[in-house]
Amino acid sequence: MKLQILPLVLACSTVSAFQSPLSSTPSKSALSMTNNSNEISRRNLFTIASSIAVSGSLVQSAFAADAKNALPDMVGTPKPKSLGGLPKKIRMVGNTLDELQRDLMQERWELVEKYPEQLRSYVPVFTTFTDSAFPTEEPTDKGLRVALRYEVGRFFASLERLKQATSRRNLEEAYVAYSDMSLHFDRYLHVGGLYTYYDATVTNEEYFKGVSQDSLVYSDPAKDPAEVRDLVVIAKGPDMGKTGIVIGIYKDGSNKCVVKMDRFKGLREIRVVPREFVAKRLGEQDPDDVFLIPRKGANGNGSATVSMSKQGKSNLVAKS
């Protein structure tokens, strides 16, 4: 920590120098100069006090500045102006993933096969953003670069798995690969400070205290567990009450699934949660918004493609 304490040191030294003669027994020659020396002492002491006050202010400012720099930025580190449109370009990957979800869930394999090449074109964008947003050799920047590169590596490794599953027309493996892609991309956005909002809520369960479970409308996860493509509501845990769609189920014995939350401020967070926390929504639902994305046909006109009536979004609904 760089503190501007030189004036304070000088001031303290001056105080020590004046304390010795003032506290000792004055000589006869000194008595004749008492009035003058007292005037000089008062003048110097005033100067010393002013120096100490200024020095204290400088020290306090230095402490405040360093403390501010040391605190973690909970909403993402401000990006240099030189980044230009890089953040926007990276968020556009989310739009491509939405279209991929639509085509994969509709088993349009001939369209899914085109996405790996399209997504690999973003490699330079990821690389440039990572190196430009956190360019210094400070431990924080170095750590963030390592974390971002790790997420990018896992993203493209999952993309390769999707490519292989697509060639075999293995839908279950393709769902898991797509889920991992979405998860690592979401983590990249969080680590890179690319989210457009910050949610300070620790858990939503507090909002549902005192509310009877019988008053909430959703299927029993134990009797009727949610599957991929089901519209769901999180019935337990810190995200209780949030809605989304199941995009993948892990078959590794963990009994966990991946939920893509409903869109909020243009972005869709990804959650990995136990399947017993996820309940299918009941009643008539609107389709998940990816199925409303226009697909350009041969004539170039966009048309919405909704073919699964059970898709949609809603919140917890209380019985009347």
Pick the residue with more confidence: 242 or 37? Answer: 242
Which pLDDT belongs to residue 34?
A: 45
Helix count (H) and strand count (E) of the chain?
A: 9, 7
Structure tokens at 24: 């000792």
Residue 29 resides in a domain: no
Q: Are 86 and 124 in a shared domain?
A: yes
The more confident residue out of 172 and 36 is 172
Residues 232 and 148 in one domain: no
Residue-level pLDDT at 228: 97
| Bridge partner residues of 96 (DSSP) | none
Number of domains in the chain: 3
Residue 318 maps to a domain: no
Q: Kindly list the distances between the CA atom of residue 22 and the CA atoms of 16, 27, 34, 39, 42, in Å, as whole numbers in the listed order.
A: 10, 11, 11, 13, 12
Q: Is residue 175 part of a domain?
A: yes
- Confidence grade of residue 198 (pLDDT, cut at 50, 70, 90): confident
* More confident of the two residues 89 and 29: 89
On whether residue 197 sits in a domain, the answer given is no
DSSP 134-159: S-S-SHHHHHHHHHHHHHHHHHHHHH
Of the ranges 30-39, 102-111, 145-154, 279-288, which one carries the lowest mean pLDDT score? 30-39
Whether the per-residue pLDDT at 64 is higher than 90: the answer is: no
pLDDT at 51 over 70: no
> Same domain, yes or no, for 153 and 253?
no
Task: Supply the pLDDT for residue 206.
Answer: 76
Q: Cα separation of 41 and 195, whole Å?
A: 61
Q: Does the pLDDT value for residue 68 go beyond 60?
A: no
- Residues 231, 269, single domain; the answer is yes
261 DSSP β-pair partners: 244
**In a shared domain, residues 187 and 86:** yes
Predicted structure pTM score: 0.69
Tens digits of residue pLDDT in 260-280: 999 999 999 999 999 999 999
Does residue 103 share a domain with residue 53?
no
Same domain, 261 and 177: no
CATH code (residue 187): 1.20.120.290
Structure tokens at 318: 């209380």
Same domain, 253 and 291: yes
Residue 212: predicted pLDDT: 67
d(CA 228, CA 258): 9
Identify any residues that bridge with 267 across adjacent strands, giving them in sequence order.
264
Is 160 within a domain?
Answer: yes
pLDDT confidence of residue 197: 87
Residue 199 has pLDDT above 50, yes or no: yes
Both 60 and 90 in one domain: the answer is: no
Given a cut of 70, is residue 236 above it in pLDDT?
A: yes
Per-residue confidence (pLDDT) for residue 256, from 0 to 100: 97
Q: Which residue range is the domain that position 293 belongs to?
A: 205-303
Q: Which of 2-6, 44-48, 96-100, 113-117 has the lowest mean pLDDT?
A: 2-6
Mark which of 166, 191, 216 sits at the end of a domain: 191
Instruction: Work out the widest C-alpha separation in the chain, in whole angstroms.
Output: 112
My answer on whether 99 and 151 are in the same domain is: yes
Q: Pick from 191, 224, 259: which residue ends a domain?
A: 191
Closest by alpha carbon to 207, among 74, 319, 316, 75?
Answer: 316
* Domain limit, last residue, from 191, 226, 250: 191
Lowest mean pLDDT among 104-108, 126-130, 203-207, 279-283: 203-207
- For residue 109, pLDDT over 70 is answered with yes
Residues 6+ positions from 119 with CB-CB distance below 8 Å = 93, 96, 156, 159
How confident is the model over 1-31, as pLDDT tens digits?
444 444 444 444 444 444 444 444 444 444 4
**Looking at the domain assignment, is residue 313 inside a domain?**
no
pLDDT band (50, 70, 90) for residue 180: very high
Q: Do 296 and 220 fall into the same domain?
A: yes
278-280 and 295-296: which strand pairing?
Answer: unpaired
The verdict on residue 308 lying in a domain is no
Based on the fold, state whether residues 184 and 223 are members of the same structural domain.
Answer: no
Question: Does residue 76 lie in a domain region?
Answer: no
Tokens read off for 243 = 């809605």
- What is the pLDDT of the chain when averaged over all its residues? 77
